[in-house]
Amino acid sequence: MTTTEVLVIGAGPAGIAAATAAAENGCAVIVLDDNVAAGGQIWREATVGEAASAHRGHGRKWRALERLRRSGAQVLGGRCVFSAEASGTVQTSHETSSGTLVEQFHFEQLILATGARERFLPFPGWTLPGVFGAGGLQALVKGGFPVGGKRVVVAGTGPLLLAVAAHLAQDSAVVSSVVEQASLGQLARFAASLWEHPAKLAQGVLYRAMLWKTSYRIGCWVVEAIAGSNGHNLSAVRVTDGTRVWTEPCDLLASGYHLVPNTEIAALLGCKFRGTFVQVDKAQRTSLPNVFCAGEPTGIAGLEAAMVQGEIAGLACAGISTTLLQKRVAAERAFGESMEKAFALRKELRSVPRPDTIVCRCEDVTFGSLHGYTGWTDVKLQTRCGMGPCQGRICGPVVEFLLGWSPVSIRQPLFPVPLQAFCFQDESVEIATTNEPIEEKA
């Protein structure tokens, strides 16, 4: 058992800001993250092209990481939190050279900065090799996956599409088109609101300028991924605008439909929710007095919102006033709400899957096999949808969008943990190796 004054779960921008603020103001802080290095998805470390990354706007990342290092906060990477109790204990699994190690951490105050994940929506062919999540492909490229010269279609919805497309283009991919399902009217209203956020507007203009050769298709969506002559790898995608359908050749498809907050730990602890987001007060405190939450779990609003919320949570843990920062939170939250409206999913996407389209990739459950049930629990028991290794993180939001069923409970372990990790053998105990019966003693 390791004890700390402040425990931060998540080492993305929100977690970094929270840990830094708390540690700089005298708190003993431990940060846990399932990635090896701090930074989260948005600041994921690149293993190649470090010189190139210097001009990609990462100066803020390096400054934040250096400030975190100097603060004295202890960052423990490779820790996957699978259990949490409001009494003040979390458990993690940690892969070591000798196997999986289970560790326990006791906290006085907890900050949840667990971020968000991509929302995937199924369509025929979405399980073909060559079809990736938008953020997933970006992460692979940062890790060295080669995309130079490959034809890429980026499709789905949300600001992430342009960012991913721009980064892929910088890595010499041929981004043939960006396919955005939001309508022109929705995007026009969103663009108008960006005048209040000049930095975000400038960033969007920069991304679009980097993609000046790329078609930006508004009000369109992918309806099928097509395999090549070998019947396996992706060769093209079918796209529609609701009236006509056309085919676009490609080697890779990056598809993502905005983001889903990672709120499983908050739900497990018993925090109250505001819709699908964790409910917090002005100090980022949840309904539990010693638990705070910052970043995407409180509302999808981007990097600026995550960092200022993280700073507020860290200062609140240290007993420092956060009044001056709260106005910035309100402005960023308003931006998040406008973004949610702009990229709301259109109803036509519900009719894209065919009966034989896989919905639950872990358990190979098709869309057609989900019909005839009364809700999430019923379909889970009868088809095993949501019972695979991802524990419904992929298919849960899919089923919620397609059929309106939401998960009714969160249980530990949140992630699969080998049973062997909980076993302990004392070498001082003799193990009987003969077939002779062991004598019982009263």
Residues 275 and 220 in one domain: no
Q: In the chain, how many domains are there? A: 3
Name the residue among 219, 38, 9 with its Cα closest to residue 115: 9
How many whole angstroms separate alpha carbon 10 and alpha carbon 110? 11
pLDDT at 423: 79
Residues 171 and 247 in one domain: yes
Residues 99 and 70 in one domain: yes
Residues 24 and 74 in one domain: yes
pLDDT digits (tens, 9 = 90+) for 114-125: 999 999 999 999
What does the block give as tokens for 45?
């470390």
pLDDT at 45: 64
Q: Is the pLDDT of residue 71 over 50?
A: yes
Name the residue among 217, 207, 282, 204 with its Cα closest to residue 246: 217
Residues 98 and 184 in one domain: no
Residue 424 within a domain: yes
Q: Is the dihedral of CA 206, 207, 208, 213 positive or negative?
A: positive
Residues 112 and 232 in one domain: no
Domain-terminating residue out of 206, 225, 257? 257
**Residue spans of alpha helices (H) in 93-231:** 134-142, 160-170, 184-193, 198-210
Q: Which range is most confident: 263-272, 318-327, 330-339?
A: 263-272
Strands (E) located in 161-289: 174-180, 215-218, 221-227, 234-240, 245-249, 252-257, 259-261, 273-274, 277-278
pLDDT digits (tens, 9 = 90+) for 197-251: 888 888 889 999 999 999 999 999 999 999 988 878 899 999 999 999 999 999 9
Determine the 3-state secondary structure of 1 from DSSP. Answer: coil
CB 108 within 8 A of CB 128: no
Backbone angles phi, psi at 89, to 5 degrees: -135, 135
Stretch 263-272: mean pLDDT, rounded?
96
Backbone angles phi, psi at 237, to 5 degrees: -130, 150
CATH number for the domain that contains residue 80: 3.50.50.60
Residue 367 within a domain: yes
Residue 64 within a domain: yes
Residues 278 and 241 in one domain: no
Residues 241 and 124 in one domain: yes
Name the residue among 194, 191, 175 with its Cα closest to residue 183: 191
- The per-residue b/e assignment along 216-250, b for 16 or more CB within 10 angstroms, e otherwise, is bbbbbbbbbbbeeeeeeebbbbbbbeeeeeeebeb
Domain-terminating residue out of 320, 341, 368? 320
How far is CA 153 from its chain centroid?
A: 21
Residues 55 and 182 in one domain: no
The boundaries of the domain holding residue 83 are: 2-117+260-320
Element holding 8 (H helix, E strand) = strand 2-9
Domain-terminating residue out of 320, 336, 370? 320
324 band by pLDDT with thresholds 50, 70 and 90: confident
pLDDT at 440: 43
Residue 346 within a domain: no
How many whole angstroms separate alpha carbon 315 and alpha carbon 333? 19
Residue 301 within a domain: yes
Residue 338 within a domain: no
The DSSP symbol for 345 reads: P
Residue 330 within a domain: no
Residues 28 and 79 in one domain: yes
Residues 231 and 131 in one domain: yes
The DSSP symbol for 349 reads: G
CB 189 within 8 A of CB 163: no
pLDDT digits (tens, 9 = 90+) for 143-199: 899 999 999 999 999 999 999 999 999 999 999 999 999 999 999 999 888 888 888
Determine the 3-state secondary structure of 265 from DSSP. Answer: helix
Residue 326 within a domain: no
Which residues touch 271 (CB under 8 Å, ≥6 apart)?
278, 279, 286, 287, 288, 291, 293
Name the residue among 385, 392, 394, 390 with its Cα closest to residue 364: 385
Residues 68 and 159 in one domain: no
How many whole angstroms separate alpha carbon 251 and alpha carbon 348? 26
